[in-house]
Amino acid sequence: MSRQSNRLVTGGRIDRVKQHSFRFDGTRYSGFAGDTLASALIANGVKLVGRSFKYHRPRGIFSAGIEEPSALVTLRSGGRTEPNVPATVAELYDGLVARSQNAWPSLRLDLMAANGFFKPMLSAGFYYKTFMGPTRKSWMLFEPIIRKAAGLGAASKLADPDRYEKVNLFADVLIVGAGPAGLAAALSAGRMGARVVLADQQSLAGGALLDEPVGSAADAWLQAALGELATMANVRLMTRTTVFGAYDGGTFGLVERVADHKGEPDPFEPRQRYIVLRAASAVIATGAIERPIPFANNDRPGVMLAGAARTYLNRYGVVAGRRVIMMTNNDTAYAAAIDLVAAAAKVTVLDARPSVAGGKAAWAAGKGVEVIPGHAVAQAIGYTEVKGALIAPFDIATGHCGIGFRELPADLILVCGGWDPQVHLATQRGGKAQWRADRLAFLPTGEPDIQIHAGAMQGTFSTPDCLREGHAAGIRAATAAGTKDKSPDLAMPAFAIPDGDPGAGFAPVWDVHPPEALGHQKRFIDFQNDVSASDLELAHREGYVSVEHLKRYTTLGMATEQGKLANVIALAQMARLRQLPIAEVGTTGFRSPYTSVALGALAGHETDQHVRPVRRTPFHDWNVGKRCVFLDTGLWKRAWFYPEGDEDVNGAYRRETKRVRETVGMVDVSTLGKIDVQGPDAAEFLNRVYVNGWKTLEIGRARYGIMLREDGFILDDGTTSRLSEHHYFLTTTTAEAAKVMSHLEWLLQTAWPELKVHVTSVTDQWGGLAVAGPNARVMLAEAIPDVDFANDKLPFMGVRMGSADGIAVRVHRVSFSGELAYEVFCASGHGHGLARHLERVGARHGLVVYGVEALGALRIEKGHIAGAELDGRTTLEDLHMERMASKAKPYVGSVLRQRAPMTSKERQRLVGLKPVDRKQRIRPGSVLQPHNGPYAGHGLGHVTSTTYSPVLGHSIALGLIQGGEARTGQIVDACYPLKGDTVACEVVPHHFYDPEGLKQNG
Amino acid sequence: MVEIRSVLEGHVKPGRHGLTVVHPGVVLREVTGRDLVQVGAWRDTIGSVRGRLASELGLAASPDLGRSAEGSTATVFMIGPDKLWITAPRDRDLFERLSKVLHPVDAVVTELGHSRTIIRIAGREARDVLARFVAIDLDPARFPPASFASVGVHAIGCLLHYVKEEGAAGVYDLYIPSTFALSLFEAIAEIAEQWGYEFVG
């Protein structure tokens, strides 16, 4: 284990008692609890951390936060492998294992760095220029190589073993960011009694205050504020929680990293939690991110943001360099310089401003900082780590270095080019940010919907000012949320940090053009995507004038970068190239998520068996006991078939179908939609909904009905039974149950509110078993002795109430199979008992239990329509149902169904199909074409349903074909291009079995 | 009376599950033995129907939207402007009683006793469990005892009833469509594992 050579003996917010061991690229190191992987690597003197995306240039740690573009690592292993984690946010834990990315065979010796020799080829628009036009076919050749070489990290192909969950949270006031402004807002809103959620992405609350030395005045204020907040039961502080998106209606998306700071979650603990938070009011105090300044080779390991170096020093007790060169254009950088000098580093500040008299520079100089005004870093020296810098006089007006450059030794080059307010959550709600020249930053133009802005995110860079703004924002937010002030004292805790307004010191520096003599080394703008100043210049030369186009052409701000570091610099350079003010160039919009969110978190607990809810019929457990194989139909688990021995579905359904025709079968039909239609106007309602008449239906009788959509196409079919004067029991197809229910509700609530009718889904209330076959009557007569099953007592479409082994049942004599058949319904809690009773009785009558596959075979033989024919495109005429439609009354769809195209003889109509070669099988979905061609387009029609018919001994099908029954006797080809099948078929009537209905009526 | 088979039967074992703790954060049980009946009236009859129900069921107050009304044995939920759910012990023949009391011209009565499985969620983490599924504010100040709401649990419409506060913890009944009940119970139980839960059979 290496010693932590860059760790100071004191200081920082780490727990030096808890030492953590970790590995990076196989080498063992140590750090402390409270470290990030980045701080621990710096403490151990590790500078080379990764390789860049395109050119495989060596990269180090550039920042200390979520904006990190370079130090992206892969954490953990196996199913927990997570690529592209910024080392700057990866909290250190004992046993952490991290690997560098984009290097082969090793980080230090990366052969892919040879890409650097092809830089001119790999410039902006490489793919468009190389793989479009005449050379486009070369993509097929190079794609595997490019895909192997490119990309950011590699995800695991193993299943993620961790749990995730979704949570709904509510708050009067959401405060985003627990920096100075956010904390102050939480204090004032909390004191007023508002229910506050204070969310911060870091492991500790404090934001920029955490960068101040422990024991400082700022730290004292922070501790006092946190102490007071801890006493407020109405304030919930959520650290490790990123608010990544702002949505309609005060809704925010948050992700809480519950266990990412551990090797693996505790038992039953979720790794991450996706929170949907709804707030009455929100304070956005998201702070700002330090902005770099491009210079030649500015991506070398050892180049870092000035504020990051201060973070590592004061928060983690790590000094990132001993010989430091800092380049800046403003006063805020000097705090880092002063603190580093106090930590025994030698610091030289190159201030791009020609004169720095009277500012922080003088104060810093008094503390031992060497300040050289009017200078800049022209080029970093070193490859895998910084060895020094070439510095040169700098003309702030032109952005060019003058003659007279010289070399300074250094192991750390710091840069501070100003601050970019984090306006993402504000602009996600609409409205682009606007340029403010006095802050050299894009700022929100207003406060959208429930948002109230405070602090650095709106260009307030002085800590006392942030506190004041936050305090006021908290009061505004609580008031807006309807909170009545419960606190007589809203005064802020004393804050004794002397500070001016560093914003006044900003000078625009967007690029450092090196002296000609130094050649053309890359000046990176987007480190993560290897986009340099020369790429922007190339895009400009090629005519890209829109910021949105430029972004996509150069890949600037893609991936996790999302404009955090690169955006403003790129816009400023674009403005220079176009000779426009930055304000006129504009900026890109920001979309959620603000930072990466694991897909696992978004899925939450809706994974594995809970991807979607499972719907089980009342007979499910009984079906399981019968070795049933289930078929997922929507959410339902439908009984598909019941294998005997090693039967497959084909063997099982043919046996089941045959037995039903020969003896008797029983099938679970509980998935049918079931709706109670009740009320004095129920008959009138049904009369308007169905195409056929309902006013004459007697109590104890059922009727088959078809309902249309308003446009005249068939919506659904089913039987409806009249149970009492004002009570009808309506069934729908399984597939359309919800649609029919909502259709009926919609009609009652909007079209006919005057009708006294209630419709209630009773699908869950009733379980149903269909009993079909020649022995059905005798079997049920024994099973339900109080119902007279004689044909004249319970005729076809009759309904009776009875009792089966003490279970109250409704018996409906209807048939889907074409056999003598009954549907027996019972309250669902009695389903299991009813099935067992019928099974016991049925055993004496040759009962077979059959599934939906056999059910389909039976109905196709009979020529009954189902979902495949009721596909939303068929009319009554198409399915030979037009004679059902009443001419004596209007009904839904009655007008529009009479449009000429709906009744055209050219429409495709239902027919039966038999293969000419009886050994052949017709595939469902086959396109019907003229026999022996020509085959063209969509053909004459298509096959809707197919099965093997045990009765006929060969394959049969139903189909829709132009001209319909007029083609009876013709031969057509059923073509299935995906399999290369062509089956010659004879067009026949669609009733294959008992067309006269003697069986079902007998 | 024929026994009613619970959809949870054979799938859920009574006892402690999930995180091993002294006091489980969540207690789950199925509320059995209750009937559920829907009364649907119309805008010109709902007033008198409410009155008749209040009288028949001995309600302390007339049922209203969002708040359950309690009788000596029955609980009434006004689930819509003209619709009510009434739940009572199964042995009270609720459906028959109300069918006699209410004329079908004034209101229709629908038996729904088998259509819902009632899962009771209690314990100090009950609200946290529900927050994983229910997009309503369960803060007792906003959703006090006796409140009820139609909620989507895993996209399935359920009725959530805040039965009572018990030792600073909420006791909630979730009326789940029976065909989905096992699936939703499994999802709820899996979430509850992180605090340890007890299923009281």
Tens digit of each residue's pLDDT (9 = 90 or more) over A944-982? 999 999 999 999 999 999 999 999 999 999 999 999 999
Window 656-715 of A, Cβ < 8 Å to B: 670, 676, 678-680
pLDDT tier at B39, thresholds 50, 70, 90: very high
What are the structure tokens assigned to A75, written together? Answer: 């954490």
User: What is the phi/psi pair of residue A844, to 5°?
Assistant: -80, -5
Closest C-alpha to B147, from B125, B130, B129: B130
Find the angle CA(A507)-CA(A331)-CA(A563) to the nearest 5 degrees.
Answer: 60
By the CB < 8 Å criterion, does B168 face chain A? no
Average the pLDDT over A324-337 and give the result.
95
* Predicted local confidence at residue A104, as pLDDT: 84
What are the structure tokens assigned to A422, written together? Answer: 């984090």
**3-state SS assignment for residue A31:** strand
Of A609, A613, A829, the CB nearest to B155: A613
Q: Name the β-bridge partners of A24.
A: A27, A98
**3-state SS assignment for residue A184:** helix
By the CB < 8 Å criterion, does B100 face chain A? no
By the CB < 8 Å criterion, does B5 face chain A? yes
* Predicted local confidence at residue A20, as pLDDT: 98
* Predicted local confidence at residue A752, as pLDDT: 97
By the CB < 8 Å criterion, does B80 face chain A? no
Residue A492 has pLDDT above 70, yes or no: no
Are the CB atoms for A791 and A800 separated by under 8 Å?
Answer: no
* Interface confidence (ipTM) of the complex: 0.97
What are the structure tokens assigned to A191, written together? Answer: 């004191």
* Predicted local confidence at residue A498, as pLDDT: 47
Provide DSSP, A54-70. TT--EE----SSTT-SS
State the Cα–Cα distance between residues B111 and B119, nearest whole angstrom: 19
Please indicate whether, in this complex, the C-beta atoms of A760 and B156 are within 8 angstroms of each other: no
Cβ neighbourhood burial of B177 (10 Å; 0-12, 13-18, 19+): buried
What are the structure tokens assigned to A116, written together? Answer: 């650097």
Please indicate whether, in this complex, the C-beta atoms of A765 and B136 are within 8 angstroms of each other: no
pTM of structure: 0.93
pLDDT in tens, A400-412: 999 889 999 999 9
Q: How far is A940 from chain B (nearest CA, A)?
A: 41
Residue A120 has pLDDT above 80, yes or no: no
Which of the 8 DSSP states describes residue A701? B
Window 122-141 of B, Cβ < 8 Å to A: 131-132, 134-137, 139
By the CB < 8 Å criterion, does A486 face chain B? no
Residue A361 has pLDDT above 90, yes or no: no
Window 282-311 of A, Cβ < 8 Å to B: none
Window 446-485 of A, Cβ < 8 Å to B: none
Are the CB atoms for A429 and A421 separated by under 8 Å?
Answer: no
Q: Which long-range contacts (CB under 8 A, 24 or more apart) does A361-369 make?
A: A361/A331, A361/A334, A363/A334, A363/A338, A364/A334, A364/A337, A364/A338, A367/A338, A367/A341, A367/A342, A368/A341, A369/A334, A369/A337, A369/A338, A369/A341
What are the structure tokens assigned to A218, written together? Answer: 């700022």
Of B113, B131, B194, the CB nearest to A268: B194
pLDDT in tens, B109-131: 999 999 999 999 999 999 999 99
| Averaged confidence pLDDT in chain B | 95
Residues with Cβ within 8 Å of A99's Cβ and at least 6 positions away in sequence, in order, are: A24, A25, A73, A74
Residue at token pair 């300040």: A371
Cβ neighbourhood burial of A247 (10 Å; 0-12, 13-18, 19+): middle
* Predicted local confidence at residue A21, as pLDDT: 97
Helix (H) or strand (E) holding B84: strand B83-89
The amino acid present at A970, given as its one-letter code, is Q
The dihedral built from the CA positions of residue A889, A891, A894 and A895, taken in this order, carries a sign that is positive
Of A635, A725, A827, the CB nearest to B114: A827
Q: Which residue of B has its CA nearest to A611?
A: B154
For residue A698, give Cα distances in angstroms to A43, A701, A728, A799: 89, 6, 11, 10
Q: How far is B69 from chain A (nearest CA, A)?
A: 22
* Predicted local confidence at residue B15, as pLDDT: 97
* Predicted local confidence at residue A500, as pLDDT: 47
Provide DSSP, A399-434. TEE-S--EEEE-SEEEEE--EEE--HHHHTTS---E
pLDDT in tens, A259-288: 999 999 999 999 999 999 999 999 999 999
pLDDT tier at A503, thresholds 50, 70, 90: low
Whether the bond between A593 and the residue before it is cis, its omega within 30 degrees of 0, is: yes
Residue of B108, B118, B130 best to disrupt the A interface, most CBs of A under 10 A: B108
* Predicted local confidence at residue A494, as pLDDT: 58
Average the pLDDT over A759-770 and give the result.
98
What are the structure tokens assigned to A289, written together? Answer: 């991110």
| Averaged confidence pLDDT in chain A | 94
Residue A499 has pLDDT above 70, yes or no: no
Of A618, A760, A827, the CB nearest to B38: A760
* Predicted local confidence at residue A486, as pLDDT: 65
Please indicate whether, in this complex, the C-beta atoms of A167 and B7 are within 8 angstroms of each other: no
Maximum CA extent, chain B: 57
Average the pLDDT over B83-103 and give the result.
93
* Predicted local confidence at residue A493, as pLDDT: 60
Q: Name the β-bridge partners of A665.
A: A772, A848
Residue A488 has pLDDT above 70, yes or no: no
* Predicted local confidence at residue A489, as pLDDT: 61
State the Cα–Cα distance between residues B152 and B134, nearest whole angstrom: 6
Residue of A266, A624, A758, A805 best to disrupt the B interface, most CBs of B under 10 A: A758
- Tell me the chain B residues in contact with residue A830 when contact means C-beta distances shorter than 8 Å: 2, 4-5, 114
Q: Which of A115-119, A595-599, B17-21 has the lowest mean pLDDT?
A: A115-119
State the Cα–Cα distance between residues B55 and B49, nearest whole angstrom: 10
Query: Residue B98's Cα: distance from chain center in Å?
Result: 19
For residue B10, give Cα distances in angstroms to A827, A834, B32, B173, B192: 20, 18, 16, 22, 20
Q: How far is B11 from chain A (nearest CA, A)?
A: 10
Please indicate whether, in this complex, the C-beta atoms of A170 and B137 are within 8 angstroms of each other: yes
Residue A872 has pLDDT above 90, yes or no: yes
Q: Which residue of B has its CA nearest to A603?
A: B154
pLDDT in tens, A569-621: 999 999 999 999 999 988 888 889 999 999 999 999 999 889 999 999 999 99
Residue A134 has pLDDT above 80, yes or no: no
Closest C-alpha to A101, from A65, A157, A47, A155: A155
Choice between A121 and B51, residue whose per-residue pLDDT is larger:
B51
What are the structure tokens assigned to A796, written together? Answer: 């076809």
Choice between A170 and B169, residue whose per-residue pLDDT is larger:
A170
Average the pLDDT over A925-932 and give the result.
96
Q: How far is B118 from chain A (nearest CA, A)?
A: 13
* Predicted local confidence at residue A813, as pLDDT: 98
In this prediction, what percent of chain A has a pLDDT beyond 70?
A: 98
Please indicate whether, in this complex, the C-beta atoms of B131 and A832 are within 8 angstroms of each other: no
